Amino acid sequence: MPVELRIEGDALKALQRKLKAIDAKDLRRELNKGLREGAKPLVQDAKDAARDDLPKRGGLAERVASRPTTISVTQGGIKIRVKGVDAKSADKGVLRHPVYGNRNTWVLQRIPTGYFTNRMRREAPKVRPDLIRAMDRIAEKIANA
């Protein structure tokens, strides 16, 4: 399971339900695109969290920071995911990884507890206005239709 953060809200769920009820696929696509665009700064924050908080010796911090990070919109939320990192273990402060990239030898390494989730929660409020603007644009289009 990748490292992930979910941003959820009742207003988003209500808007998504309304779009589904009126079968407005174009507006749903526009909303999802706006939400992904609004959340983009969190991708860099995820990379920064890895570089700042994970062990640098041996290149672990840089390897995790260079992993693909995706933004997806789910029913009622936004997910930020770092692929290839076990979310539950990482949040508990343990990361399983190959020794110097040798896939035949793996180790468990202690890392700061909640390194990713704590950073994402701290930085998420800075993208909130952009997410609300994206939702407001769609709500206005529904109201004017």
- Does the residue 81 lie in any domain? yes
pLDDT of 59-77, one tens digit each?
Answer: 889 988 999 999 999 887 8
| Structural domain count of the chain | 1
* The predicted structure's pLDDT at residue 7: 56
pLDDT of 97-111, one tens digit each?
Answer: 888 778 899 988 899
pLDDT of 42-56, one tens digit each?
Answer: 999 999 999 999 989
Name the burial class of residue 89, with classes exposed (0-12), middle (13-18) and buried (19+) by CB atoms within 10 angstroms of its CB.
Answer: middle
Question: Which amino acid type is present at position 9?
Answer: G
* The predicted structure's pLDDT at residue 47: 93
- Does the residue 104 lie in any domain? no
Alpha carbons within 13 A on the beta-carbon side of 48: 10
Buried-state track 44-55, b at ≥16 Cβ within 10 A, e below 16: ebbbebbeebbe
Q: How many CB atoms lie within 10 A of CB 67?
A: 16
- Does the residue 23 lie in any domain? yes
Domain that holds residue 74: 3-85+115-144
- Does the residue 28 lie in any domain? yes
- Does the residue 78 lie in any domain? yes
Confidence band of 3 (pLDDT split at 50, 70, 90): low
- Does the residue 138 lie in any domain? yes
